[in-house]
Structure 1
Amino acid sequence: MTQTAPREAPPGRRPGPRGGPWGTLVAIAFGVMMVALDGTIVAVANPAIGADLDASLAELQWVTHGYLLGLAVFLITAGKLGDRYGHRRVFMVGVVGFTLTSVAIALSSAVVPLVAFRILQGVFGATIAPAAMGLLRSSFPPDKLGRAFGMFGSLIGGATAAGPIVGGILVSAFSWHAAFLINIPVGLAALGLGVWLLGPNRPTDTSSRMDLPGIALLSVAIFALVWALVEAPVKGWAHAETLTVLAVALAFGTVFVLWERKAEAPLLPLGIFRSAPISIGVVLMVLMALGLMGSLFFITFYLQGVLGLTPLQAGLQLLPLTAMMAICATPAGRLIDTVGTRVPTVGGLVSASVALFMLSRLTPDTGVVYTSVGFVLLGVGLSMVMTGATAAILTSAPVSLAGVASGMQQAAMQLGGSLGTAVLGAVLSVRVAATLPGHFGDAGLELPQGEGLAALQSAVAQGSAVVPEGASDAVAQAVTRASHLAFMDGLFLAFSVAAAVMAGAAVLSLFMKPAAKEEGAEGGAAPEPAVHL
């Protein structure tokens, strides 16, 4: 049936900043930026972590994937907790937990505990993002929601893309530990602003119960899927363990869907996907994150490994990308308020596709101007897609499900990030393994055998070269050149795939209907969007 519920009047008209829409935005800013920053700050810190803790490429991927795993598994559940118990309360708990786990990560002296704390950090991060979005949705009037989501997108996009710069500065000046200790002052600022500016805790869905079977089924399904995406490039997509874990993900996902169809209080009402903007928006969030996280992960290896830049120099080289992601989301939000979500989203995906195509043509001798143009186009495009897809999902969901819808949007983004680094990493590694013998042969070099070859391929896939001990300068240069050419072959194929994915997403986004204008008095309440249940 179709239910239409009255939307709660935004509580933003009381005098003073506390509880008002812009005060709410300021209050959540530091928490949101802290979560987004930690998703990419390790991109520059990864080489230093690997050298200090003697980590392999697979282990370094888990430093990234562990965080994304914790986020992806818990996001929808955290959104439900915010709807049920109040987004303010959940937000504050998340900020405290995130700050404490950041300290634990910085104090880690081995890869295993570091990854474990990264997963826990992701869980606490999952409580922050949906709660922040739920606070925005219930605080801003309908005619300013696009602008609010644009500002929110600027916070996430700017912090996500600023990670490499901040990481580069901290790693260069201190060590990789500082990339996580920076969360102490940021977390304290988020906590203080939350106490000062956020209004009273107001649950939006007090009548529902927690769907414990649904939570368990969805958590196992997402965990198994992300695990398979991380391990498949190492063990092989046809390996028995990979196929088994994928089967577990499929089985639990199927049972989850069947359970949600009959549950009295479902964790994720499946009727929400009958809304085309929501369904398409979720898919676009996955694809957008695939392009962003995948490109950031491997472009850092290019900048540091192939071009020989320091962490700080690599971060500065990415400045055009970081600046565009921070700047463009807010104008995109204003544009969405005027013309709807389709036009900005299509334009953003086209821009991102062109940018990734350009970056696939990088060489060891590419100049700064060319890469900067590619980064500008990528930053502009991805910021518009992030804002457009977020607005499509959140404005099409009822206020009572704002937390769940936000959790779904964020989970799609984190799953896309894991998909990007895993799938593009697999493409790159396969291509490196295929072309490395030819480049070594052309240079008159012999490849090692057995474990030595596997170690060499792993190093080359990170943009590095393994020079034999005692080798002459001529041999060292030949090994380095051959290794970098093989890496560039892999980068070309991986980024070409990403560009094709963005182009396909642009076609899909053409089916997004422009957001309907909501009638009503200025800033007044409007009907809640209809949801078919």
Structure 2
Amino acid sequence: MAIFSTRPDGTSSVEPRDASQPTVTERAIEAMEVDDFQGPGAYVNILPVCRFWVLCFGVCAGLLLSIIDSSILATSLYTIGVEFQEHSLINWVVLAYTLGYTGFAVSCSTLSDIIGQRNAFAGSYILFVAFSIAGPIGVGSLLIFLLSWPSKEEMPRPQTRPWRQFDFVGTVLGIAASVLVVFAFQNAGESEPTIWGRAVFIAPVVTGLACWVGVVAWGYAIEKWFAHRIVPVFPIQLFRIQRYARSALTTFLVGYPHLLLIFSFPIRMQIVSGKSPLIAGLMLLPMLGTVAIGSMVSGKINSAKDHLSGTLRCGTWMMALGFVLLPTIKGSEDDAKALGFLAFAGFGFGLFTAAATNVISVDVPTRQKASAHGITAQAKILGGSLGISISTLFLHTEVINRLPELVPPEELASVRGDVQNLRGASLEAVKRAYVSAFHKGITTAAVAACLAVLSTAFITCQMRRRERRRDVEQQQQRENAAPEEEEPRFAEPPIPLQTIAGGGVAEGGVARGEPAK
């Protein structure tokens, strides 16, 4: 290959290029291929397209099963309460699910750095399939995943870590911090109003908050003294990345209304509108479908250029719009409007979560990506668990504790856990109580969604200030470099008029090729 160069006199020349020296484009591609976790020289091979899509199918099938599992749980809560004739404790079923998710989201993500991504995913898949009714489907998708996983020749050589570097202390503190705070509010929601000042509420809250302080302190201790010996579950360096830290906080605020709506809306449809569990579950489709659409739109918008801050902001706007409108629905006559409002909330949630995931890909170093994904997932589920606990509080305040006032004792004894067995004025009174509880829960969700809007607005302002500061610095660098790059210009002697006219030689000049004396 040849290189075109320009001489000082303005003419061009063609010089051979040294083949051992890479071009700028080749150096850029090489820099993109080197993984800072795998070490220099570790190149990522390209997987065949067919095998890649088969692998994606295996992963997506597992994600589909997990989403279906949570939807089935949401629609079966009321039936579980009827079966056991105990509606006051049904949210513990949900919290057992979400708190297990919350407690192990971060630790399992960092576990992949020790045992490998394939083994971590397959182990989690096996645990899920073993306790799920969708076992045969899960086994099939797991086999597809394992068979389509790239071979050793197609995979880079990852630098795995030994077990002694796993952060056991941070894992225990994170699980305790998440579980204790949610437990305190859930237990208070289903107890007497006087529980707020008793030790059974204060002790778990204080202990949980102390555990959160311990998580932060332990992260600082690892950073200062044990950086080469322990890989932290909650790396403090992550929260110095401003856009990621703000998006993680916003994820917590967004998770609160999302999970609250998923688990409270089907109960409302079954009690207030008299729908069957199947129909109540199907009425979640507008929200779940628009979540998928929002995720695809977010990926398309940010595929060529970084519009992540704007996508985060638009997602929270759409969610806030849906949740601000949801409290306006009353009885079964407003079910059609509720489906439209669910679509707004779902589309906004899809936009936001996909953009928040891409923030990790863009802003977070590769070594910390696993922890970053785990923290984001934990923030979403932890916010949702608090939302479920708050909805339990309103359910008990408006319905469970007031049933003796709403229903005569002899009629209440014949209900046997199913409110639909009531008739006449008693049934209408219970429906109004459920509408009131749903209204209060969704109102708190709307407040959380509006706080998420403020948080993403702060992200946008912060990014604009950073861009303006970067533009100013680049302008200053160009101005400082301009005088150095300019070549000095020497004044040329004036050409004699005689030479121009062709009429002779001026004093001290040379004309017609005659040598100067």
Change (3 A) 1:241 1:405: same
Q: Which letter does structure 2 place at the counterpart of 1:216?
A: V
Q: Per-residue displacement from partner, 1:50-104 (whole Å, max 9, x unpaired)?
A: 333x0523432111110111111111111111122211110011111111122xx
Separation of aligned partners in 2, 1:93 and 1:434 = 43
Q: 1:317 Cα deviation (Å)? A: 2.4
Alignment TM-score, normalising by the size of structure 1: 0.70
Q: Which letter does structure 2 place at the counterpart of 1:13?
A: I
1:304 aligns with one of 249, 270, 277: 270
Separation of aligned partners in 1, 2:397 and 2:43 = 53
2:131 aligns with one of 101, 118, 135: 101
Query: Does residue 33 of the first structure (1) align with residue 64 of the second (2)?
Result: yes
Query: Does residue 50 of the first structure (1) align with residue 81 of the second (2)?
Result: yes
Aligned to 2:250: 284
Q: 1:416 Cα deviation (Å)? A: 1.6
Separation of aligned partners in 1, 2:236 and 2:282 = 44
Query: Does residue 193 of the first structure (1) align with residue 144 of the second (2)?
Result: yes
1:206 aligns with one of 158, 161, 183: 161
Q: Per-residue displacement from partner, 1:29-57 (whole Å, max 9, x unpaired)?
A: 122222233233211122222333x0523
Query: Does residue 333 of the first structure (1) align with residue 284 of the second (2)?
Result: no
Change (3 A) 1:241 1:447: same
User: 2:238–2:368: 8 Å Cα contact kept in structure 1?
Assistant: no
Q: Which letter does structure 1 place at the counterpart of 2:449?
A: M
Query: Does residue 85 of the first structure (1) align with residue 115 of the second (2)?
Result: yes
Change (3 A) 1:446 1:407: same
Change (3 A) 1:306 1:89: same
Q: Per-residue displacement from partner, 1:139-192 (whole Å, max 9, x unpaired)?
A: xxxxxxxxxxxxxxxxxxxxxxxxxxxxxxxxxxxxxxxxxx1x2133112211
Separation of aligned partners in 2, 1:448 and 1:271 = 62
Aligned to 1:70: 100
Separation of aligned partners in 1, 2:352 and 2:335 = 26
User: 1:332–1:387: 8 Å Cα contact kept in structure 2?
Assistant: yes
Aligned to 2:509: none
Q: 1:511 Cα deviation (Å)? A: 2.2
Identity of aligned residues (%): 22
Separation of aligned partners in 2, 1:390 and 1:311 = 33
Q: 1:501 Cα deviation (Å)? A: 1.4
1:257 aligns with one of 194, 216, 240: 216
Aligned to 1:360: 327
Query: Does residue 11 of the first structure (1) align with residue 41 of the second (2)?
Result: no
Change (3 A) 1:209 1:200: farther
Query: Does residue 395 of the first structure (1) align with residue 362 of the second (2)?
Result: yes
User: 2:89–2:190: 8 Å Cα contact kept in structure 1?
Assistant: no
1:407 aligns with one of 363, 374, 387: 374
Q: 1:396 Cα deviation (Å)? A: 2.2
Q: Which letter does structure 1 place at the counterpart of 2:428?
A: R
Separation of aligned partners in 1, 2:151 and 2:101 = 26
Aligned to 1:480: 427
Q: 1:214 Cα deviation (Å)? A: 2.1
Aligned to 1:247: 206
Q: 1:24 Cα deviation (Å)? A: 4.1
Separation of aligned partners in 1, 2:318 and 2:324 = 10
> How big is the alpha-carbon RMSD for the aligned residues of Structure 1 and Structure 2?
3.1
SS across alignment from 1:333: helix
Q: Per-residue displacement from partner, 1:372-393 (whole Å, max 9, x unpaired)?
A: 2112111111111211222223
Separation of aligned partners in 1, 2:360 and 2:200 = 35
Change (3 A) 1:224 1:55: farther
Query: Does residue 223 of the first structure (1) align with residue 176 of the second (2)?
Result: no
SS across alignment from 1:308: coil
Q: Which letter does structure 1 place at the counterpart of 2:87?
A: L
Q: Per-residue displacement from partner, 1:383-442 (whole Å, max 9, x unpaired)?
A: 11211222223432221222211111111121122111112332343344798798x4xx
For structure 2, the 5+ residue unaligned runs are: 1-33, 468-517
Separation of aligned partners in 2, 1:349 and 1:428 = 27
For structure 1, the 5+ residue unaligned runs are: 103-180, 468-475, 518-533
Q: Per-residue displacement from partner, 1:418-474 (whole Å, max 9, x unpaired)?
A: 111112332343344798798x4xxxx75799xx79x99x97xx9x4673xxxxxxx
Q: Per-residue displacement from partner, 1:232-254 (whole Å, max 9, x unpaired)?
A: 21234433212111122122222
SS across alignment from 1:400: helix
2:351 aligns with one of 377, 384, 388: 384
User: 1:204–1:400: 8 Å Cα contact kept in structure 2?
Assistant: no
Query: Does residue 509 of the first structure (1) align with residue 494 of the second (2)?
Result: no
Separation of aligned partners in 1, 2:43 and 2:142 = 23
Aligned to 2:27: none
Point out the structure with max Rg over C-alpha.
2
- Paired residues in the alignment total 412
Q: Which letter does structure 2 place at the counterpart of 1:332?
A: S
Separation of aligned partners in 2, 1:341 and 1:429 = 41
Query: Does residue 371 of the first structure (1) align with residue 327 of the second (2)?
Result: no
